[in-house]
Amino acid sequence: MAVGIVGWGAYIPRYRIKTREIAEAWGDDALRIRDMYLVEEKAVGYIDEDPVTMAVEASRDALTRAGVKPSEVGAVFAGTESKPYAVKPISSILIDALGLSRQVYSVDMEFACKAGSDAIINLMGLVKANSIKYGIAVGTDSSQGEPGEHLEYTVGTGAVAYVIGSSNLAAEIKYTYPYASDTPDFWRRDGSPYPVHGEGFTGEPAYFKHIMGAAKGLMDELGMKPSDFDYAVFHQPNARFPVRVAQMLGFPLEKVKPGIVVDLI
């Protein structure tokens, strides 16, 4: 059974803040910061925007583009690390906000930047098992960078949503390859206002070991090489890491794209 993306949607707040302004507020060198992260500005939510409201907008957009009725959706999985409630799922709010049936599977998933992709993979399994016809996978987050810390310059705010199914596919998901470990790069203890960023682990072994392991493992299992792919989209915690990992894997930079939702839209 072919399974993949039937519809997609995105929501990015209108407001922006320049990395130069953040640097000036903390007395940092604005040019050094720009050259370090290659980020000019980031999206920030207004006072009435949070991961819930953004998830609703992105999901509505995805359903409209897919031409799928809310009554046809059998599951909604939301991936986030910044939900506004410590105990209350986003997915249950989406059931009412989107007008879904009560007979739906609903789950909130947490795995830092990996939660949204895990939602997609789990929904693919439900579709393949004929347990549901369509499912909605949402990734939604608001900036939680600690003031003056690296993430304040690069982590923005926004949401994306995909309708996953097996008919009228806009993009088939051919294969997935998991690669995970307990690497202490990013965490937040209960009650802490900001996540902690383990800088000594951020590049190695956190980012490059996992991206390289997943990409090489995928290509080895499929018997493919970089020249077999038209485009590549790598995890993008900043602008430098995906460029470097593409070079390490042997992907020409002209094949590296900034994000799959941007291209699909």
- 195 preceded by cis ω (within 30°)? no
Local confidence pLDDT in tens for the 265 residues of the chain: 899 999 999 999 999 999 999 999 999 999 998 888 888 999 999 999 999 999 999 999 999 999 999 999 999 999 998 989 989 999 999 999 999 999 999 999 988 778 889 999 999 999 999 999 999 999 999 988 888 888 889 889 999 999 999 999 999 999 999 998 888 777 888 888 888 776 666 778 888 999 999 999 999 999 999 999 999 999 988 888 999 999 999 999 999 988 766 554 4
Structure tokens at 44: 């920030």
- Residue 246 CA to its chain's centroid (Å): 19
Q: Can you list the domains of the chain with their CATH numbers?
A: 4-172 (3.40.47.10), 186-264 (3.40.47.10)
Q: Which of 113, 146, 149, 150 is catalytic?
A: 113
Is the pTM higher than 0.75? The answer reads yes
By DSSP bridging, strand 41-43 and strand 16-18 are: antiparallel
29, 23 contact by CB (below 8 A)? yes
Nearest to 5 by CA among 163, 227, 141: 163
Instruction: Quote the CA–CA distance of 19 and 186 in Å, as a whole number.
Output: 22
DSSP for residue 146: P
DSSP for residue 223: T
Q: Is 40 a catalytic residue?
A: no
Q: Which of 49, 57, 81, 152 is catalytic?
A: 81
Q: Is 172 a catalytic residue?
A: no
Q: Is 197 a catalytic residue?
A: no
Q: Which of 72, 149, 150, 235 is catalytic?
A: 235
